[in-house]
Amino acid sequence: MTITLSAPKEVTVVQEVKKTVLTITVFEVTDSQESKVVRANTLELGSLVLWQGATYDSIGQWTDTDVENRILEIINQ
């Protein structure tokens, strides 16, 4: 399949970067009720979206253990 654009479009392509980590340091977790997003900011991996939208609603009042389990789930996918 080929998709032809009506005009040339500049796009940003980011090369995959792999890291080997033994620990993940979470220095901030933000919870935005307006956006329905919980993010964990880490030294090793940057910002991770933990829950958003419907999963944000279903997690309810999350704990540090929930954050840890979710980060492990994300990196083990």
> What's the chain's average pLDDT?
94
pLDDT attached to residue 60: 93
Cβ neighbours, 10 Å, residue 44: 13
- Tens digit of pLDDT for each residue in 23-58? 999 999 999 999 999 999 999 999 999 999 999 999
Per-residue confidence at 17, pLDDT binned at 50, 70, 90? confident
The two tokens of residue 17 are 């970067």
| Confidence class for position 14, pLDDT limits 50, 70, 90 | confident
Instruction: Give the Cα separation of 66 and 69 in Å (integer).
Output: 5
Residue 73: band (very low, low, confident or very high) from pLDDT cuts 50, 70, 90: very high
The residue ranges of every structural domain in the chain are 26-75
